[in-house]
Amino acid sequence: MSIHRLLARMVLAVCLALGATLANAQAQTNAPEALLKRLVEAGQAEKTDLLKALSETGDERARGWLEAVRDGKLAMIEDTGALVIVVNNRGRDWQIADALTGEDLGEMSRRDLQSLRVNNALRADIEGILSVIDLTVADPGQRLDAARNLLGEVNEALATQLQARLQVEDNGQVRDMLTNALAIYQVEQGDVEAVATLSGSLNPTVRAALNNAVNSDDPALAAAAEKALASIEQKLKLNRAAETLYFGLSLGSVLVLAAIGLAITFGVMGVINMAHGELIMLGAYTTWGMQQLFPGQPGLALILSIPAGFLVAALAGIAIERSVIQYLKGRPLETLLATFGISLILQQLVRTVISPLNRTVVTPEWMSGSIMVNEALSLTLNRLYVIGFALVVFAGLMLIMRKTRLGLEVRAVTQNRAMARSMGIKATKVDIMTFALGSGVAGLAGVALSQITNVGPNLGQNYIIDSFMVVVFGGVGNLWGTLIAGLSLGTINQLLEPWAGAVLAKIMVLVLIILFIQKRPRGLFPQKGRAAEG
């Protein structure tokens, strides 16, 4: 090997080692701790650059340091050069904590501390840096929240930082939010082209910015903003329609739960049970009682309330059937009056034993909150669970009615009681089991209702009339009719309420049902069988 090549390799090795040393030194210089120390000794012109570098390190402690600098609470111990944050600066001795570890260092005389001086200009710079510091964290959700908070808050300095951030942001949602924040600022500055960026957004801040632009002195900007608002308004109408449909389905699912048990008992026994609402109330109070037995565990209490609510209401139904209804078969008017009296007794019993005041049932954490479909539409989780619960209960009842001996006997008694008896079916036993099943489902309805409204003695009264309307509209004793009628009436009621009001909407629904029954007296899905035809 020639001497020249050997020398070249030695020079290259020395250069690489020197480069690594310089890079390491630079890294140490740019470390958060080094930046903080330089910040205390730097002049006012250099501090802003150091604060920006500090925010870009990605250190989780950076926000706390910037807030401490903004509030004038970052200081250095003169004897040791250690950096501290002043926790309490009242009196001669100040309470301090280590700036790097957060460890409490006790009290120290303020004369031994060199505080970092901050003027108004630096505070404004820090506010701008804090506005975008969360855009550098690893969690996309936090970055999205930070970007959303910047809507309508962007100034000239922030606009430059956002443009730089957009070049490196890899999350689509965050990019869209940052783009909108920047576009709002540009529209405020009179940029007509930026209006197109905002035209598809449903964010309230965006709509407010476009409304301001409509009143602009620039005709082109005002026209573009007005066109964008018209497009947004069309989207808002569609989202409001979807929200109304969702609330209608949730109300309809409650009506299905409340009415489906009544449809079974009414169809099989021909009993007008005015105490059905109080069976719903008992299910709701069972949920409240379970939460008293399991304090601090609302999720477990709710799960246990499902079988407990069914059993409590079913046992109450059996007691009502054995004590009163069995003696009034074939006498619907007397049955109506008797069960109405039972409903009053049950209401007063609850008032006396528990309280006349409403009780609040705690919603479990997994049922709280909502699903954000977009910025104009959110679906509350508790109503979503109620819809799912209603469908599960309906499916369970359909399996019982179609796949079990009890279901076969119930359908036989419903279609022709006399013929069913002649075939050896014990109609009395079927009546007891049917009333227990219908009452138990009413208890399940109370469990569901406890998650969307307060529990009180009058809870059932709010749903008894609606339940009868669902049964009559869908067809007495028909489960599919009850499902379709309940969901339909709930949706129609929600569609009418916004412009007719709650009371008038119910009246209109009642009138529609009366007119419908004039044409189809047996409902949407009438019973089949000789007894039904007679």
| 8 Å CB contact between 184 and 152 | yes
pLDDT value for 6: 52
244 shares a domain with 115 = no
What's the CATH number where 493 sits? Answer: 1.10.3470
- Rounded mean pLDDT, 244-268: 85
- Which residues, listed in sequence order, are joined to residue 57 by a DSSP beta bridge? none
394 shares a domain with 276 = yes
Local structure of 378: helix, strand or coil = strand
- Could you tell me if residue 394 is inside a domain? yes
Q: What is the pLDDT of residues 402-454, one digit of tens each?
A: 888 888 887 777 667 778 778 788 878 888 888 888 899 999 999 999 988 88
User: What sign does the dihedral 365-369-373-379 (CA atoms) show?
Assistant: positive
State the DSSP H helix or E strand holding residue 528, giving kind and residue range, or none if neither: none
- Could you tell me if residue 416 is inside a domain? yes
Q: What is the pLDDT of residues 264-285, one digit of tens each?
A: 887 667 778 889 999 999 999 9
> What's the helix, strand, coil split of the chain in %, to 5?
70, 5, 20
Name, in order, each residue with C-beta under 8 angstroms of 143's C-beta and a sequence gap of 6 or more: 134, 135, 136, 137, 169, 171, 174
Q: CA angle at residue 30 from 25 to 36, to 5 degrees?
A: 125
- Could you tell me if residue 1 is inside a domain? no
Q: What is the pLDDT of residues 194-216, one digit of tens each?
A: 888 888 788 888 888 888 888 88
- Could you tell me if residue 164 is inside a domain? no
Rounded to the nearest integer, the mean pLDDT of the chain is: 81
Other Cβ atoms less than 10 A from the Cβ of 341: the count is 13
Other Cβ atoms less than 10 A from the Cβ of 324: the count is 17
State the DSSP H helix or E strand holding residue 484, giving kind and residue range, or none if neither: helix 479-500
Between 296 and 528, the more confident residue is 296
pLDDT value for 306: 94
Q: How confident is the model at residue 312 (pLDDT cuts 50, 70, 90)?
A: very high
**Token pair 């059932």 is at which residue?**
460
- Could you tell me if residue 233 is inside a domain? no
410 shares a domain with 283 = yes
Among 108, 136, 164, where does a domain finish? Answer: 136
- Which residues, listed in sequence order, are joined to residue 86 by a DSSP beta bridge? 96
- Could you tell me if residue 4 is inside a domain? no
528 shares a domain with 387 = yes
- Rounded mean pLDDT, 305-323: 93
| 8 Å CB contact between 190 and 220 | no
pLDDT value for 347: 92
pLDDT value for 348: 92
* Burial class (CB within 10 angstroms; exposed 0-12, middle 13-18, buried 19+) of 104: exposed
* Burial class (CB within 10 angstroms; exposed 0-12, middle 13-18, buried 19+) of 51: buried
The C-alpha torsion from 408 through 409 and 414 to 416, rounded to 10°, is 110
337 shares a domain with 463 = yes
pTM recorded for the entire structure: 0.72
Residue 14 has pLDDT above 50, yes or no: no
- Rounded CA separation 484/502 (Å): 22
The encoded tokens of residue 386 equal 């109620």
Percent above pLDDT 90 for the chain: 14
Lowest mean per-residue pLDDT among 131-135, 285-289, 381-385, 510-514: 131-135
Residue 465 has pLDDT above 80, yes or no: yes
Name, in order, each residue with C-beta under 8 angstroms of 430's C-beta and a sequence gap of 6 or more: 268, 406, 409, 410, 413, 420
Q: What is the pLDDT of residues 495-520, one digit of tens each?
A: 888 777 777 888 888 888 888 888 88
Q: Which of 5-19, 77-91, 169-183 has the highest mean pLDDT?
A: 169-183
- Could you tell me if residue 503 is inside a domain? yes
* Burial class (CB within 10 angstroms; exposed 0-12, middle 13-18, buried 19+) of 463: buried
Q: What is the pLDDT of residues 20-32, one digit of tens each?
A: 433 333 333 447 7
Closest to 195 in 3D by CA, of 180, 216, 174, 205: 180
Closest to 259 in 3D by CA, of 470, 526, 116: 470
132 shares a domain with 246 = no
Q: How confident is the model at residue 58 (pLDDT cuts 50, 70, 90)?
A: low
pLDDT value for 5: 55
Name, in order, each residue with C-beta under 8 angstroms of 529's C-beta and a sequence gap of 6 or more: 414, 415, 416
Q: What phi and psi, each to the nearest 5 degrees, are found at residue 468?
A: -65, -40
292 shares a domain with 407 = yes
Q: DSSP string spanning 59-111?
A: -TTHHHHHHHHHTT-EEEETTT--EEEEEE--SSEEEEEETTT--EEEEEEGG
CA 170 to each of CA 89, 125, 139, 160, 422: distance values in angstroms, whole numbers, following the listed order: 43, 26, 12, 18, 76
Residue 534 has pLDDT above 90, yes or no: no
How many separate domains does the chain show? Answer: 2
Residue 17 has pLDDT above 50, yes or no: no
Residue 12 has pLDDT above 80, yes or no: no
- Could you tell me if residue 324 is inside a domain? yes
Q: Kindly give the pairing relationship between strand 93-98 and strand 74-77.
A: unpaired
Q: What phi and psi, each to the nearest 5 degrees, are found at residue 203?
A: -70, 135
Task: Report the interhelical angle of 219-269 vs 405-415 (nearest 10°).
Answer: 80
Closest to 194 in 3D by CA, of 205, 203, 182: 182
Q: How confident is the model at residue 69 (pLDDT cuts 50, 70, 90)?
A: confident
The residue range of the domain holding 431 is 238-357+379-533
- Rounded CA separation 310/318 (Å): 12
| 8 Å CB contact between 473 and 524 | yes
Name, in order, each residue with C-beta under 8 angstroms of 69's C-beta and a sequence gap of 6 or more: 39, 51, 116, 118, 122, 126
Among 110, 136, 162, where does a domain finish? Answer: 136
State the DSSP H helix or E strand holding residue 160, giving kind and residue range, or none if neither: helix 156-166
Q: What is the pLDDT of residues 96-124, one digit of tens each?
A: 888 777 788 888 887 888 777 777 777 77
Percent above pLDDT 70 for the chain: 91
268 shares a domain with 407 = yes
Among 97, 112, 136, where does a domain finish? Answer: 136
pLDDT value for 21: 39
- Rounded CA separation 98/121 (Å): 27
486 shares a domain with 350 = yes
Q: How confident is the model at residue 3 (pLDDT cuts 50, 70, 90)?
A: low
pLDDT value for 346: 92
pLDDT value for 350: 92
- Rounded mean pLDDT, 29-53: 71
Residue 4 has pLDDT above 70, yes or no: no
- Rounded mean pLDDT, 456-481: 84
260 shares a domain with 119 = no
254 shares a domain with 131 = no
